[in-house]
Structure 1
Amino acid sequence: MNQRLAHVTLLVRNYDEAIAFYTQVLGFRLESDLDMGEGKRWVVVAPPGTGGCGLLLAEAKTEAEKRAVGQQGAGRVWLFLHTDDFWRDYPIMQARGLHFLETPRSEVYGHVAVFKDLYGNKWDLLQPLG
């Protein structure tokens, strides 16, 4: 059997502002932007590199969905962006306007710093050790 996690749905306020943030600030690539009709789109962004999981951006429509934008992790770090070179990517992301919540630190598992995306979701930028 061969399985993998392909996408994680991320609620966003607006498709276009989300695409701009994830591609221009985080440097993700736009893998898909298909019109599904009735205002829905199939939008997938993913970090550079091979394989891995992409974000399926879902524009919030209902009031419950709108309230959940930026709150899917309930205030915790819940998205982890791995990099092969933390010290290359950290200053590039800062220069693009990414807001880090802390200074970088070294943990037993790697070099890490927490940041927020444009909706307030908390992420780890992480270079795993080993």
Structure 2
Amino acid sequence: MPPKAGADLHQVAQAAASSFGLLPAHHEDEPDRRSIPERLKTDPETVERDLIKLVLTIVELLRQLMERTALHRVDQGDLSEHQEERVGMTLMILEERMGELCDRYGLTMKDLNLDLGPLGSLLPPGSD
């Protein structure tokens, strides 16, 4: 389920940052920090893959938003037949390239779907 409308942006940012290891570990005996982390949790061995995962997650979210917008425009009759074909072909190619990039970096579409805790998943059902 995608994040609910009006969801607390701080919660979304915290969940996303946590998923990518960008927040320091929180210990039960420490107070909850509500500020920007002092340092990034990085591992030189995985930093490239983690960055690719973040970029591909954003690209996949945008791809799905574009797809929904295109379907809505088709349903409304806003596009000519030629425009519908071009949009459909473009979205198919983008989906194919996403699969190729995921394969190259050893990721699956499921890896790109961040769990935002009580807000649900970043990407809608059926994305993985």
User: By the TM > 0.5 criterion, same fold?
Assistant: no
Task: Name the larger-Rg structure.
Answer: 2
More helix by share: 2
Q: TM-score, normalised by structure 1?
A: 0.24
More strand by proportion, 1 or 2? 1
Q: Normalising by structure 2, what TM-score?
A: 0.24
- Higher RCO structure, 1 or 2 (CA under 8 Å, sep 6+): 2
